[in-house]
Amino acid sequence: MPSRKKAQGKARKAAKAEKAEEEGKKQSAVGANNEQQALGAQIQRLQLQDLFSEHDDDTTGDDCLHGHTLLPEDDVAHQFMKSFMGHYYDAVNADGRKLGPDKFHAAIKATDEDLGIQTTENEVRMDWVLSFLYGLGAQFILDDSESRARMHAEIACFFELLKCATFGTEQPEFFETQIADIHTLVSFYRKKIPCSCLDEKYEEVKSVSKVGLCRNLNCSLPGHLVKRSKMLYCTACGTTNYCSRECQVEDWKRHKKT
Ligand SMILES: [Zn+2]
Ligand SMILES: [Zn+2]
Ligand SMILES: [Zn+2]
């Protein structure tokens, strides 16, 4: 990355941190949020607000929203996202920062209860939610915040699955957000956003071998990770993959029941 860009990124990060701190002060002064929240959840939430408010005072183009369009704060989609993220972070933090579909569905349920409507049963709203997650995740990649980018890729994937199940839209691509290599992660976001903001990053990481997870629980490879190009797919279901014929055979007893 050219150093000018890096410096810009740093300056932007510093400005963001400052803004977040300000917001934090504002929030605690008002005492609007009386729920008990973990520090991590607070920080994440501030970032969310930060992204939403970014374009209000600065339209230099340096802070592209990567295809996301801002909605007024009282818009139901905006309220949904804010509430959902709060519930999701709380659920994740309450379980030792472990992600997973259970947290996702719990957060959806709690959010529907908050708002009194089934927000996810509106396709336009779902698309807005997805564009928010893609934009935020792309920004995390640019800010070198890989773990956050992963987390939001996982949330986006769950929303894609939910959208597919609700509206019969295209089946989302199979994507192991938690173990994916940086090449796969950057590709995921780059394909989702309409701008070219991740092109430079993609050039940086495209030589990294794509890896996947061998599904044999007793696989002997470190972390059960295998290069995608070497992966074998189960011919019965087409989605379960293995590092070797041995692992596939070993796992068959378990897998055939699923
Ligand atoms: Zn962009
Ligand atoms: Zn294996
Ligand atoms: Zn299978």
My answer on whether 50 and 139 are in the same domain is yes
Do 180 and 154 meet the contact criterion of CB atoms below 8 Å apart? Answer: no
Q: What is the pLDDT of residues 216-252, one digit of tens each?
A: 999 998 888 888 888 898 888 877 889 999 999 999 9
My answer on whether 29 and 117 are in the same domain is yes
| DSSP reduced 3-state for 212 | strand
Domains of the chain: total: 2
Per the structure, the complete domain to which residue 218 belongs is given by 212-258
Ligand nearest to the CA of 238: 3
My answer on whether 101 and 227 are in the same domain is no
**Torsion sign across C-alpha atoms 70, 92, 84, 45:** negative
My answer on whether 41 and 157 are in the same domain is yes
My answer on whether 125 and 229 are in the same domain is no
CB count in 10 Å sphere of residue 162: 19
| DSSP reduced 3-state for 242 | strand
Q: At residue 12, does pLDDT exceed 80?
A: no
| DSSP reduced 3-state for 225 | strand
My answer on whether 177 and 64 are in the same domain is yes
Q: At residue 72, does pLDDT exceed 60?
A: yes
152 compared with 240, residue with greater pLDDT = 152
ipTM > 0.85 for the complex? no
Q: What is the pLDDT of residues 93-129, one digit of tens each?
A: 999 888 889 999 999 999 999 998 887 889 999 999 9
Q: At residue 58, does pLDDT exceed 50?
A: no
My answer on whether 179 and 223 are in the same domain is no
Q: At residue 31, does pLDDT exceed 80?
A: no
Distance 30 CA to ligand 1 centre (A): 34
My answer on whether 151 and 169 are in the same domain is yes
My answer on whether 202 and 222 are in the same domain is no
Q: For ligand 2, a single-atom ion, which residues have Cβ within 5 Å?
A: 214, 216, 219, 243, 247
Distance 209 CA to ligand 1 centre (A): 25
Give buried/exposed letters for 79-108 (b at 16+ CB in 10 A, else e).
bbbbbbbbbbbbbbbeeeeebeeebbebbb
The top-scoring range by mean pLDDT among 4-18, 131-145, 225-239 is 131-145
CB count in 10 Å sphere of residue 148: 17
Distance 182 CA to ligand 2 centre (A): 21
Kindly tell me the number of DSSP H helices and DSSP E strands found in the chain: 9, 4
Do 87 and 106 meet the contact criterion of CB atoms below 8 Å apart? Answer: yes
pLDDT, the chain, mean: 79
Distance between CA atoms of 156 and 185, rounded to whole angstroms?
A: 12
User: Which pLDDT value is given to residue 246?
Assistant: 94
My answer on whether 16 and 67 are in the same domain is yes
